[in-house]
Amino acid sequence: MIDIHCHIVYGVDDGSYSKAESLRMAQIAAHSGVTDIIATPHSIPGMFDNFAGEELDAAFGRLEKLIADNGLDERLRVHRGMEAFANDDTLDRLENGQLLTLAGTDHLLIECEFGEDPEYFGGILLRLRRRGIRPVIAHPERYYFAQDDPKFLLDYVDMGCALQLDSGSVTGMFGHRSRRTALELLDIGAVQLIGSDAHDSESRTPDMREAADLIANEFSHRYAELIFDVNPARLLKNRRLLFPGDESEGKRRDPFMTDEEFWGV
């Protein structure tokens, strides 16, 4: 599995608070079958001022060294990214080079206020799309407007944005409205990515197995594979993300395909 959303960098936001905690999170990830993590500190002006530059580079460097010093680097690759915040200055921050995309690709992880106006958020997403960015919307199932009516999210998908569920929403950690919305989005095949959005080693951990099992059982093994493995691997290569169904276009007749050929990773 690949985790594209994780607050494992210590001391920079409300995620990991220490070196020891980051090590515990890395161990949980590796033991639960995660091979790659994109470390995504919050970048919220005035709250978590994490912007591209020396300070943030140093924080990523400390995490990478911690993982290497403890012999985990062969099992767990760490990539750099951030969870950008949507507000009036997002476009300026992009143009000033202050935002980090996911692992240096065109995909930008972006969140908004839980009570944000969906049209305002949509306007920012559209402007990002016009600049060649492929927004990955962090935990859409937790936004109030989406819980009231997921149609706005489908407009964002039409625009070329990807929806990234939090694994904890699927298992019910964020309450029934988030869970119901997550399951609805899965049911209509609108979800392309999932992430742990882990903040610690005890309650919001990097272990996504429960959510993966639930999706495999309630929907399909292929769907779970698509959002936990295939699309994140494609994202790391800056390739277009697939929807459920895309993967087998024109390929269904050949029963001897390898998984790799089937998915086109």
Each residue 150-169 as x (binds Fe ion by CB under 5 A) or -, in order, gives: --------------------
Residue for token digits 């300026």? Answer: 92
Distance separating alpha carbons of residues 15 and 22, to the nearest angstrom: 9
Closer of 38 and 133 to Fe ion (Cβ):
38
Minimum CB distance to Fe ion, residue 193 (Å):
13
Closer of 22 and 263 to Fe ion (Cβ):
22
CB neighbour list of residue 26: distance below 8 Å, 6 or more residues apart: 8, 37, 66, 67, 70, 72, 76, 206
Closer of 162 and 242 to Fe ion (Cβ):
162
Residue 6 structure tokens: 């994780």
69-88 residues in contact with Fe ion (CB under 5 A) are 83
**Residues in binding contact with Fe ion, number by CB under 5 A:** 2
Residue nearest to Fe ion (CB): 197
**247 is a contact residue toward Fe ion (CB under 5 A):** no
**Options 197, 200, 229, 247; binder of Fe ion; rule CB under 5 A:** 197
Closer of 28 and 242 to Fe ion (Cβ):
28
Q: How far is CA 83 from CA 7, 15, 52, 90, 233, in A?
A: 9, 12, 12, 12, 19
**141 is a contact residue toward Fe ion (CB under 5 A):** no
DSSP3 helix / strand / coil % (the chain, rounded to 5): 45, 15, 40
* Contact residues for Fe ion, defined by CB under 5 A: 83, 197
